[in-house]
Structure 1
Amino acid sequence: MYTEAITLCPYVPEYYTNRALCFRKRNVWKRVEEDCTRAIELDHKSVKAHYMLGLALLEREEYAGGIQKLEKALDFGRVGDPEGYMVEEIWQRLAKAKYTQWEEESNKRVWRLQELKKTCEKALKQHHFLEASQTGSISEEAADAHAERMKQLDQVFEIAAESDTPTEIGFKWGLRIKQPTTNPSNWLVLQVPDYLCCKITLDIFRDPVISPSGVTYERAMIVDHLNKVGKFDPFTREPLELDQLVPNLAIKEALQAFLNEHGWAYRT
């Protein structure tokens, strides 16, 4: 049906995104990519086209390109229909993709650190034994110096692995997963600072807005509250209208900085 429509009128982007949706349901990702690319050529702000193209690229494990398209879809979606269902759906897929990308890169970094640490430990031990062989014995002072160097080496690699280790500030979530650290057997608790989490959902912010009272909420949640519960701030109980909500750019910037440093927080 859509192929016929495209043949008759090849300049309507919706025809391509609708056909791409059909291909998506059949997992024909190459055709999804082709149709969405054409739709974007006709309408560069097409949320559906950027979204499905992002999914198609992720299927090919092109995480950088896929994430870029999902981010564009999210930006255009928030401008056009910030409370729409697609914004939430896009965010979920974007967060999953970013977490997967971080996890893969993290595993590679940790493996390289472990290999480098083994090499350094081996070099220190060889140096220690060489000194012992030259003197004929190991003095208590030399043993203590060797132990101190090994301790310093551990500290250096602990610091190097911090970006791949959950932070221990502002304990918020009780989500336990196995994290790749210098000790892979460790089980750690993922934590996100309170100020980066919505007071209604208790989840990490996605699109934070601030009310006149100074309280920051997740946009979708506070809008839902205003529409279904009443026109008041849920925490201060003061009157509140939709047009009084303002994007909290400071929190949004802080959130992005936190996510850039702690990619594990994308796991929702």
Structure 2
Amino acid sequence: MEFKEKGNEFFRSNQFEQAINFYTFGLNSHPDQNLREVLYLNRALSQIKILEYDKSLSDCEAVLQFNHSSIKAHYFRGLALSGKKQYKNALESLKTSLRLSEKEKATWIQELKGKIDEVELLLFQENENQEKNYLEKTKNNLFQYLDELIRLRNQNSKNVLDIQDKMSELQIFFEKIQPKRPEIPSYFCCPISLDIMNDPVVGNSGVSYEKNAIFNYIDSGGNQDPITRIPINKDQFHPNICLRQAIEEFLEKNPWAKKRNETIIEQND
């Protein structure tokens, strides 16, 4: 126990290497299983702090061998895998940790969900970049091939012009098939804040607004709908459940928009 407490002191002061040393001393003293799990997990987190992801993974695996339901072991494993840019495997571990946390009603569920969202975005960006790189490589290979044809057949001007036309057509083709993010539907955005709505409400006018935005507008003296100009009050508005579900589905399928929306919400808070 003394080694753990000493290690924790160093951890709290951001002296992670010293903390690791004391957690290791504790493990070498052959503690009981409960303390051994704590020491492994504390050392795993300390190793993440100094970017020693492989060592952290080893400690997490050591815990999971005798306690496969360890919430922290799955969580730290996910953090370490994310640090190694193995986002798909990281998500699997983080989501396992989330399922276990929800069963235990752990206090850090929101933090864990935030980390899952972050890794989902990183995975989306990685896949998007891989697709772009593949298309760019394919395009370059084709153009190199056509350049070689031009070089070999440069004595026949007609053939050269034909090939150059084909190159122009290919350029247009590749520009068209470049992966593009879908546009955010305009009706997902509040007419007042212009941001994606998180809590849409609709009134007698049929126009949906972000709840905080329209209520703040009314509180500031606005008594007419900003779009239709009909008289309004707070009692007229009720949740637009269908629109909210549609927005949530869109955000789930488009992590880049989800991250953008969360950033906006944090700024507004």
TM-score by length of 2: 0.51
Note if 1:257 corresponds to 2:253.
Answer: yes
Which of 71, 86, 92 aligns to 1:62? It is: 86
Counterpart residue type for residue 30 of structure 1: L
Note if 1:100 corresponds to 2:153.
Answer: no
Residue of structure 2 equivalent to 1:175: none
Counterpart residue type for residue 37 of structure 1: L
| Higher-helix-fraction structure | 2
Counterpart residue type for residue 258 of structure 1: N
Residue of structure 1 equivalent to 2:173: 156
Which of 131, 150, 154 aligns to 1:109? It is: 131
Shift of 1:68: 1.7
Residue of structure 1 equivalent to 2:57: 30
Question: 2:234 is paired with a residue of what secondary structure?
Answer: coil
Shift of 1:97: 2.6
> Which consecutive residues of structure 2, in runs of 5 or more, have no partner in the other structure?
5-25, 49-54, 213-231, 264-269
For each residue in 1:160-184, what CA deviation from the matched residue of structure 2 results, as whole angstroms up to 9, or x when unmatched?
A: 3214xx55x34xxxxxxxxxxxxxx
Structure-1 separation of matches of 2:85 and 2:154:
52
Asked if structure 2 preserves the Cα contact closer than 8 Å seen for 1:198 and 1:204, the reply is yes
Shift of 1:53: 2.6
Q: Larger Rg: 1 or 2?
A: 2
Which of 118, 121, 145 aligns to 2:143? It is: 121
TM-score by length of 1: 0.51
What is the root-mean-square deviation of aligned Cα atoms in Å?
5.2
Asked if structure 1 preserves the Cα contact closer than 8 Å seen for 2:69 and 2:100, the reply is no
> Which consecutive residues of structure 1, in runs of 5 or more, have no partner in the other structure?
171-192, 222-234
Change (3 A) 1:107 1:212: closer
Asked if structure 2 preserves the Cα contact closer than 8 Å seen for 1:71 and 1:94, the reply is yes
Asked if structure 2 preserves the Cα contact closer than 8 Å seen for 1:23 and 1:32, the reply is yes
State how 1:12-51 maps to structure 2 within 5 Å: 16=37, 20-21=41-42, 23-27=44-48, 29-30=56-57, 32-34=59-61, 37=64, 41-42=68-69, 46=71, 48-51=72-75
Shift of 1:154: 1.2
Structure-2 separation of matches of 1:215 and 1:36:
50
Question: 1:162 is paired with a residue of what secondary structure?
Answer: coil
Asked if structure 1 preserves the Cα contact closer than 8 Å seen for 2:44 and 2:60, the reply is no
Asked if structure 2 preserves the Cα contact closer than 8 Å seen for 1:196 and 1:204, the reply is yes
